[in-house]
Structure 1
Amino acid sequence: MMMFKSVSFVRSVACVMAVITALAGFFAGEAQAQARNLPLIRDAEIEGLLRLYTRPIFKAAGINPKSVKVYIINDQRINAFVAGGQRIFVNTGLLMQSDTPNEVIGVLAHETGHIAGGHLARMGVEIESASYTQIIGMLVGLAAIAGGIAAGSAEAAQAGQGVMMGSQGLAQRNFLAYARGMEASADQAALRYLTATGQSGRGMITLFEKLGRQSMAALQNADPYVMSHPMPMDRIRNLEEAAKKSKFYDTKDPPALVLRHELVQAKLLGFTSGPQAVMQRYPSSDQSMPARYARAIAMFRKGDIRNSLPIMESLTAELPENPYFWELKGQALLENGRAAEAVAPLEKALKLLPKNGLIQMMMAQALIDTGSAENSKRAIKLLRQAQQSEGQTSATYKFLARAYAQTGDIPRAELATAEAALLQGDRKLAVEKAKSAQNLFKKGTPEWTRANDVLTFASRD
């Protein structure tokens, strides 16, 4: 599992949280600046589960599954939102606090409804009809309301309503009415997708009920006309009435899917919380697969590899076809300075998931860390394969630079370092290394041209 920061424009479409950054076209630059602190998580297992959840929903919505990207945010609040077109962001809190896969699938179906309905683009048209002053008033008021709801503070939410009322106008009322209609439309679309895929709408309702209970105090005296979402109880009542009409309403999640969901929850707790929290949720008396998974992660993260490895081995023995158990064992060994031993379990993970870019990258890192030139040659091939699915990332170029250096290919090592620096925003280093690479390559070759491209981009004002 990897965590890092990313730049994205976000718009909240959680059940009861106000749409603050829906003012996309108008405030895109400011929103992107604020989103620089988004703590994104990369993990092969979690991303694989979300693909499993979304693929049939996307197909039911007439959307190419390959055209939508799903991102994971390390945030303990229950939330998910769409952003920048066909991007869905999912908080870890949604995954952690959901009781069933169906709850998460229901929310993802709702977000898919926003994408299929073109709601972000249509929202921009509505925004254009409001004046600059009115938009500012809405932005400030909605921010206060959303903050109050998220914190469970009725006073803060009511204060936000006051700001909204102070700058209220017909355009604002129309905008918010449109936003509420958009949310209701996404709800109904979600129910259609769930029915089309033979799944229940019950989870969507129970998840919204949780959010409703959490925000009840803050919304007690809220004016429904200054909310961007339908009031929770009204929304749940309408959803329940429609969902019960489906013949799949009582359909349960398959046991195998439930297990994968529980394993992801265990992994998230193990990686994002301390050992004490893990032991409270999964005491040693609990010998279930998710409990052992969480404890193994917590142990290796605190450096207790000696007690962690036997648990990991029990998991791989019990479910050898699970690639993520092998991946975890490889990661634990790698991060504890045992790169040579990490290669074998990572090879098994790759055999089960041969095209997974994240596992390819981890395998490449283990090969590089062995210090062997032959292993580094293999690592280069894996990293080039990883770029086909992961794209051009600074991490892949950093590993490539190390691998090329170990094989004695200094020109390509310099070029890879320049490309990594450019992607990280270090223009000074990018220029330095690109110039060095150009001096080492024959003019006009593909590598010389790439170095020249780095120089061009890094030298821009």
Structure 2
Amino acid sequence: MRARAILYRATARLMAVLVAVMSVAISEAEAAQKRGPALPIIRDAEIEGLLRLYTKPIFKAAGLNPKAVRVYVLKDRHINAFVAGGQRIFINTGLIQQAKTPNEVIGVLAHETGHIAGGHLARMGVEIDSANYTTIIGMLLGLAAIAGGVAAGNAEVAQAGQGLMIGSQGLAQRNFLTYARGMESSADQAALTFLTDTHQSARGMITLFEKLASENIAVLANVDPYVMSHPMPMERIRNLEDEAKKSPYWNAKDPPALILRHQLVQAKLTGYIDGPQAVMQKYPSSDQSMPARYARAIAMFRRGDIRNALPIIDGLTKDLPENPYFWELKAQALLENGRAAEAAVPVKKALELLPSNGLIQILAAQAYIDTEQPANAKEAIKLLRQAQRTEGDTAETYRLLARAYAQTGDIPRAELATAEAALIMGDRKLAMEKAQAAQAAFKTGTPEWTRASDVMSFAGRD
């Protein structure tokens, strides 16, 4: 009886410790998720426009609403893409920069679309719950055995309990990884279907997988395939290629215009991310292609050499005047060098070519505001209101609205916009102060009065 009492007490203590550890781990994970660093997301009208061009037919083939799926670009040099948070695809700049053809990027996006169309994220949650359940049961049984061994003075029983705990975790992990590998294979097959339905080749997807396999062949040489979350690379490529070659579009090529857009985006990323030295190595002055000139112009104006950058940009707009992103670049170069009045001219041209693009609308509004002319400020307010339809509420949009309203003498609305920007940025004190000042100037019940009230309500929450 005494041994049994000791067993119960030991088990209870260990159970309490386990529950406490799990509670802390879960609380810390949730807190980390809430306060975690923002993803290094890049916003650019040209890159996003190209990705929409890549994905629209794929999404339609998958039965998805193209407007409901968002594609985000992450500043990361590694080749990677993944699905997270529902219908959201994340793609690294490294994948775009290292892909030799548009078809390689399209193939990866088709694969990620396969995950969304297959509902893999939702089903993965069930598998995770199942894995956790298996692990927890195994750990509890193991803890009970350890406690029993300790109580009875039996070291073998205690060791067996430890083995049970470890085994349960391994079983749960392997069960989950088996499911994950199945999801990847399912997404591969879905991608083949989407590419065939849109009359595109799967060759690019396979080429990219081959590149990844060759880069990791040494690492994967001695890896147990059952502890992999993806199928073994060479087996995956072999199976994919056998199926892909059955498609009548296996030898389909990317259109020249699409290849040029892909190369221009690669040049832009090199110019903005990699810096002048990398640009000159990849795009020497002897290279007079459009992408090379694009990259060099970006690198020049980014380091303050606008005198040499502008002639190159002018050459690009002359060669391809229907490209809105060349005009956007000229406006940005001028704006960042304090020449807002001059920037207003090319940004107007960019807007004529892409009148509904929110990012270009915001750039145009900034150029108009920086001229410090009340008439231009009114146009900026109009553009920013239009931009909110596609870009949603961002702190930058509200900051610009505050400046524009101030230039037109509308101080209450400037205060309200400042309050909304502060709330988005997490400055509750400033949000409360500005919202109170704004609300006092508006008639009770008006939309502006109600918005100020909402800001105060959110700012005052614990």
Shorter-normalised TM-score: what interval?
0.7 to 0.9
The match for 1:256 is 257
Q: Closer, same or farther in 2 for the Cα pair 1:35/1:78, shift >3 Å?
A: farther
C-alpha separation between the residues in 1 aligned to 2:414 and 2:115? 44
User: C-alpha offsets along residues 402-449 of structure 1, whole Å, 9 cap, x if unaligned?
Assistant: 000000000000000000111111111111111111112122221111
CA contact (8 A) 2:384 2:397 kept: yes
Shift of 1:35: 5.1
Moved more, 436-445 or 64-73: 436-445
Shift of 1:172: 2.2
Query: What SS does the corresponding residue of 1:263 show, helix, strand or coil?
Result: helix
Query: What SS does the corresponding residue of 1:81 show, helix, strand or coil?
Result: strand
C-alpha separation between the residues in 2 aligned to 1:280 and 1:165? 52
Q: Closer, same or farther in 2 for the Cα pair 1:409/1:327, shift >3 Å?
A: same
Shift of 1:222: 0.6
The match for 1:374 is 375
Alignment of 1:279-318 (within 5 A): 279-318=280-319
C-alpha separation between the residues in 2 aligned to 1:182 and 1:28? 25
The match for 1:457 is 458
C-alpha separation between the residues in 2 aligned to 1:165 and 1:246? 46
Q: Closer, same or farther in 2 for the Cα pair 1:290/1:281, shift >3 Å?
A: same
C-alpha separation between the residues in 2 aligned to 1:253 and 1:108? 15
Moved more, 358-367 or 126-135: 126-135
CA contact (8 A) 2:81 2:91 kept: yes
Gaps of 5+ in 2: 1-25, 139-164
The match for 1:99 is 100
Q: Does 1:42 align with 2:43?
A: yes
CA contact (8 A) 2:200 2:252 kept: yes
Moved more, 104-113 or 429-438: 429-438
CA contact (8 A) 2:82 2:90 kept: yes
The match for 2:147 is none
Moved more, 243-252 or 434-443: 434-443
The match for 1:427 is 428
The match for 1:151 is none
Q: Does 1:265 align with 2:269?
A: no
Q: Match of 1:288, as an amino acid? A: S
CA contact (8 A) 2:131 2:175 kept: no
Q: Closer, same or farther in 2 for the Cα pair 1:32/1:62, shift >3 Å?
A: same
The match for 1:216 is 217
CA contact (8 A) 2:381 2:401 kept: yes
User: C-alpha offsets along residues 110-162 of structure 1, whole Å, 9 cap, x if unaligned?
Assistant: 00000000000001111111236848x9xxxxxxxxxxxxxxxxxxxxxxxxx
User: C-alpha offsets along residues 47-104 of structure 1, whole Å, 9 cap, x if unaligned?
Assistant: 0000000000000000000000110100000000101110001100010000000000
The match for 1:184 is 185
Q: Does 1:61 align with 2:54?
A: no
Q: Match of 2:427, as an amino acid? A: D
Shift of 1:166: 6.9
C-alpha separation between the residues in 2 aligned to 1:421 and 1:219? 49
Alignment of 1:123-134 (within 5 A): 123-131=124-132, 134=135
User: C-alpha offsets along residues 179-223 of structure 1, whole Å, 9 cap, x if unaligned?
Assistant: 100000000000000000000000000001111112112211111
* RMSD value, Cα: 1.9
Query: What SS does the corresponding residue of 2:210 show, helix, strand or coil?
Result: helix
C-alpha separation between the residues in 2 aligned to 1:404 and 1:182? 52
Shift of 1:274: 1.4
Alignment of 1:151-170 (within 5 A): 168-170=169-171
Of all paired residues, the percent bearing the same amino acid is 75
TM-score, scaled to structure 1: 0.86
C-alpha separation between the residues in 2 aligned to 1:72 and 1:273? 16
Gaps of 5+ in 1: 1-24, 138-163
Alignment of 1:11-22 (within 5 A): none
CA contact (8 A) 2:61 2:197 kept: yes
C-alpha separation between the residues in 2 aligned to 1:67 and 1:95? 22
Q: Match of 1:201, as an amino acid? A: A
